[in-house]
Amino acid sequence: MLKYALRRILYMIPILFGVTVITFLLFNVAAGNPAAMALGNHASAERIAQLERELGLDKPLIYQYFDFVKQVLTFDFGRSWSTKQTISSMILSGVGASLSLTVPSFFITLLITVSISLLLTQFRGSVIDKSVIVVCLAALSISSLVYILFFQYMFGYKVALFPINGWDPSWVGRWEYLTLPIIIFVVIQVGSNMLYYRTIFLDEIFQDYVRTAKAKGLSQKVILFKHVLRNAMVPIITLIVIQMPFLILGSLLLESFFGIPGVGGLVVRAINSSDFPVVKAMTVISSILYMIFQLLSDLLYAVVDPKIQLK
């Protein structure tokens, strides 16, 4: 496993190189003159030239690219064009708020969907099972924006159970502002996850080992939670680990609409203000996190299923 992990880490190097090249070309070449975009349409040529010198944009492209690679390797992405703060500090300060929203939402969603999906295997083909499928499909067909606006209007404005916008940095006070976004997050995710886990468990419930367990007289509870759930762990881990980078990066819409100072809101504000350094930094960080958690998922496959050989 150690050799496999080291080999996969080496494979990440050319992938990361490709990500940095594409990101650099998109924002420094294809998007036009970054200095002109930062200053706006009415900036003078002298002011644009001055900003190019300040940002190092007057250097040849190859040197600009090397500067960008250095930023990635040192996690020092310079300063934001809009706030003038260091980008690294902005990202680190937003991670805590994002995790406060996404981690509880993730585990609540996981608990609800896995439990209900396991129980649905006992009612497969019934009215209950079909009704749940219809509800999940209907929930998937509704935009996330609709959920956010509806819940804000109903529970934040009409009923006034939760604040619509705001933030308290203290550990206790923040939950007043996070409760409604967490509920919305769970509602948005539960439909797709339920259908995914239901399909996985139904595939397992018809396997030979389940019939053997029933023939031995094992209870339905033991079969579901000890055998079926364990053998379904590989696809479950796949979905869980793929979602992990997005937990760190936050939820773009929820953080923006509820004024949560997380990483997701930071990205939205950077896009709206054409703050290219922040967007470039988040693009590369997202790619790195995705590669790391992909490696972690492969390693976990071998842990939960000894039959899987890592080569």
Angle at which helices 174-205 and 87-120 cross, to 10°: 40
Domain encompassing residue 191? 87-304
Dump pLDDT digits (tens) for 187-235.
998 988 888 888 888 888 888 888 888 888 888 778 887 788 888 887 8
Task: Provide the token pair at 135.
Answer: 């509800």
For residue 52, give the nearest of 18, 25, 81 by alpha carbon.
Answer: 81
Q: Does this model's pTM top 0.85?
A: no
Please say whether the beta carbons of 35 and 58 come within 8 A. Answer: no
Dump pLDDT digits (tens) for 100-149.
999 999 999 999 998 888 888 888 888 888 898 899 898 888 888 899 99
| Model confidence at 309: pLDDT above 70 | no
Let me know if residue 143 belongs to a domain.
yes
Q: Which residue has the tokens 């996981």?
A: 110
Let me know if residue 126 belongs to a domain.
yes
Confidence label for 310 from pLDDT (cuts 50, 70 and 90): low
Please say whether the beta carbons of 265 and 255 come within 8 A. Answer: yes
Residue 305 pLDDT: 62
Let me know if residue 208 belongs to a domain.
yes
Let me know if residue 57 belongs to a domain.
no
| Model confidence at 186: pLDDT above 70 | yes
Residue 183 pLDDT: 94
- Distances in whole angstroms, Cα of residue 218 to Cα of each of 135, 273, 305: 32, 61, 22
**CATH assignment at residue 105:** 1.10.3720.10
Dump pLDDT digits (tens) for 2-33.
787 788 888 888 888 998 888 888 877 766 66
Residue 181 pLDDT: 93
Q: Rounded mean pLDDT of the chain? A: 84
Amino acid in position 73: L
- Based on the structure, what is the number of domains in the chain? 1
Let me know if residue 64 belongs to a domain.
no
| Model confidence at 301: pLDDT above 80 | no
Residue 107 pLDDT: 92
Let me know if residue 34 belongs to a domain.
no
